Amino acid sequence: MAPLTLKTATGNYGHTMPLKDGSVTSEAIAFEHVDVPVIINAFRRMIRGLEFDVSEMAFSTYLCARAYGVPITAIPIFLVRAFHHGSLVYSKKSGITSPKDLEGRRVGVRGYTVTTGVWARGILASQYDVDLTKVTWVVAGDEHVEAYKAPSYVVSDPGDGDLARMLDAGEIDAAVAVSKSPDVQSIVPDPAEAAAKRFGEDGVYPINHTLVVKNEVLAANPGLGEELFGLFKAAKAKYMEHLAADGPDDDDVQARTRSIVGDDLLPYGIEANRKTLETFLGYTVDQQIIPRKVDVEEVFEPSTLKLKG
């Protein structure tokens, strides 16, 4: 029997390349890899047009889409992770001196439902006692989930969408995910140290991207979730072998992350990530990304709930 061909969009990472170059294969599945140079663009195409059978997906975008009835389901493969204490920056010209000073200010975000923004706001609220409802969140783009309705303290900017320019011009006081410069600094002092300290306290290792599958494809192919999990796990293992063989990391960010979380930079499966998942699901409810509290098991393909990565 010919393998099931799945139209697939994922980024070109060390842990996905074995699936793309054919060094990890399956008798049951063949991937038709679609090249999307900026993988974020695949998220919109998947959410709005269900263009792929399998797609990488920003975690908060998936949760929001699921809440609004988009027929996709995640499996607990987490392709991109990062600490976000350094994600929120402010202009020195704004007069801000601490995270709490963001109350009453305008903070730019590409989209309110963007995952990095959810993590950054969660850090502000949980660690620095910032009342997120007292901040005006200025959205410079649009949301991938068209049906989403943002809370009243979120406004849309009709301008050019350039957060760096808006920050420099004083149109906003701070922003999420804008490159630092002499006039722009992280709102959290020494964010790398702050992230390491927080991880030591609660073990939360932020997840940015997961993997989703069209519901109709899952329904038509029993066992597909488990097969995909196994393939991505095998691809990650091959990548980890490569890292081990190459010796110390040349990538400063990767080396710093390894020093915090250990050798497995990409733990898969629910149990290894339960605290992180529960924390993020709580943030999405608190920030009105999704309308109600959900359990971790609700948002993943049932056959994958007990798999370990």
pLDDT (tens place) for every residue of the chain, 309 residues total: 789 999 999 999 999 999 999 999 999 999 999 999 999 999 999 999 999 999 999 999 999 999 999 999 999 999 999 999 999 999 999 999 999 999 999 999 999 999 999 999 999 999 999 999 999 999 998 899 999 999 999 999 878 889 999 999 999 999 998 877 788 999 999 999 999 999 999 999 999 999 999 999 999 999 999 999 999 999 999 998 887 777 656 667 788 888 899 889 999 999 999 999 999 999 999 999 999 999 999 999 999 999 998
Q: Give the pLDDT score at 160.
A: 85
Residue 226: exposed, middle, or buried by beta-carbon count in 10 A (0-12, 13-18, 19+)?
middle
Cα distance between residue 232 and residue 100, in whole Å: 41
Tallying the residues shown for the chain, one arrives at: 309
The secondary structure element, H or E, covering residue 127 is helix 115-128
At residue 99, what is the residue type? P
Question: Which sign does the torsion angle of CA 53, 42, 58, 114 carry?
Answer: negative
CATH number of 88-202: 3.40.190
Every domain of the chain with CATH number 3.40.190.10 lies at 4-83+205-304
Cα distance between residue 247 and residue 105, in whole Å: 46
Q: Give the pLDDT score at 244.
A: 75
DSSP tag of 133: G
Is 1.10.230.10 the CATH number for 4-83+205-304? no
Phi–psi pair at 21, nearest 5 degrees: -90, 0
Cα distance between residue 82 and residue 58, in whole Å: 13
Helix (H, G, I), strand (E, B) or coil at 110: coil
Look up the pTM and report it. 0.95
Helix (H, G, I), strand (E, B) or coil at 50: coil
At residue 300, what is the residue type? F
Task: Give the pair of three-digit tokens for residue 57.
Answer: 């997906």
DSSP tag of 83: -
Task: Give the pair of three-digit tokens for residue 227.
Answer: 């097969």
| Strands 207-214 and 54-58, sheet pairing | antiparallel
